[in-house]
Amino acid sequence: MRIFLLLLIPFASLASQESEAPETVWIESSKHFNCTPSEISLKGSVYISLGENSFEELAIFRESDKTWLFLVVGSAPKEMSSLMSPSELKSKNAVSLTTETTGFRWEANGYNERVFTALGKYTVYNSDNLESEVGGYKCDIVVVSN
């Protein structure tokens, strides 16, 4: 029994070290990144105010179908219809998203599609590198029925 416990201790220690990896930090700060209004209809639009520390990439996560839609990203796939370039986003102090705004599905056979297509929660993310642990700002939008 003692040998078994001695062999088990290093594995338990290793498992606890793996779970201590830092989590990506997404800050909610109306001063630096704000979605207004926070509740819209499927025909509504959102005004996103960007503080002076705005980042270069922008994406939305649609909770209803667990879909990532990238709006602005560095090294975008040629099929992607970007909302604007990363440098344009960084220089802006606001962006509007309407019912016509499209995002690029970030998956193997990705394609552009309208962002606001379902009721429920959407989270908008702003970072210098969305596909990393760098983090950045986020705000939530809820799409409700008319």
Please report, for the domain that includes residue 57, its CATH number: 2.60.40
- Asked if residue 7 belongs to a domain, the reply is no
Q: pLDDT, tens digit, for every residue of 51-95?
A: 877 789 999 999 999 999 999 999 899 999 999 999 999 999 999
- Asked if residue 2 belongs to a domain, the reply is no
- Asked if residue 65 belongs to a domain, the reply is yes
Please check whether residue 59 is in contact with residue 103, taking contact to mean a CB–CB distance below 8 angstroms. yes
Q: Give the residue numbers spanning the domain of 128.
A: 24-144
- Asked if residue 77 belongs to a domain, the reply is yes
Q: What is the CA radius of gyration of the chain?
A: 19
- Asked if residue 87 belongs to a domain, the reply is yes
- Lowest mean pLDDT of 5-14, 55-64, 125-134, name the range: 5-14
- Whole-model pTM over 0.75: yes
- At residue 45, what is the residue type? S
- Asked if residue 121 belongs to a domain, the reply is yes
CB atoms within 10 A of CB 38: 12
Residue 7 confidence class, pLDDT cut points 50, 70, 90: very low
Enter the tokens of residue 40.
């819209």
Average pLDDT, the chain: 85
Max Cα distance, the chain (Å): 67
- Asked if residue 78 belongs to a domain, the reply is yes
Per the structure, the count of domains in the chain is 1
